[in-house]
Amino acid sequence: MSKNNDKPHIKNEEQYEAMVEKGYSKEKAARIANTPDAGTKGGNASTYEERTKKSFMKKRKKLVSKDVRK
């Protein structure tokens, strides 16, 4: 067995180390750090301060109507 096979390849080493420090198991941290979008932040939502009451109410209405259909 070669030395390269002894340690699994981690795509996002920084994310992996941070997750292990937070208490995640090494296996779970490796799975997450090896996802295709590892380390990228999702969502392009504006900050709460930039939103209006109208936009919050519109979002709430969508969420409530989805919940009622269940």
Q: pLDDT tens for residues 44-62?
A: 777 888 889 998 899 889 8
pLDDT at 1: 41
For residue 2, is it within any domain?
no
How far is residue 19's CA from residue 26's CA, in Å, rounded to a whole number? 8
> Collapsing DSSP states into helix, strand and coil, what is residue 42?
coil
Please count the residues of the chain.
70
For residue 29, is it within any domain?
yes
Q: How many CB atoms lie within 10 A of CB 11?
A: 13
pLDDT at 68: 62
* Residue 28 near residue 18 (C-beta atoms within 8 A): no
Q: What range does the domain containing 19 cover? A: 8-39
Single pTM value for the model: 0.47
| Ranges of residues in the chain whose predicted pLDDT is under 50 | 1-2
For residue 69, is it within any domain?
no
Q: How many domains does the chain have?
A: 1
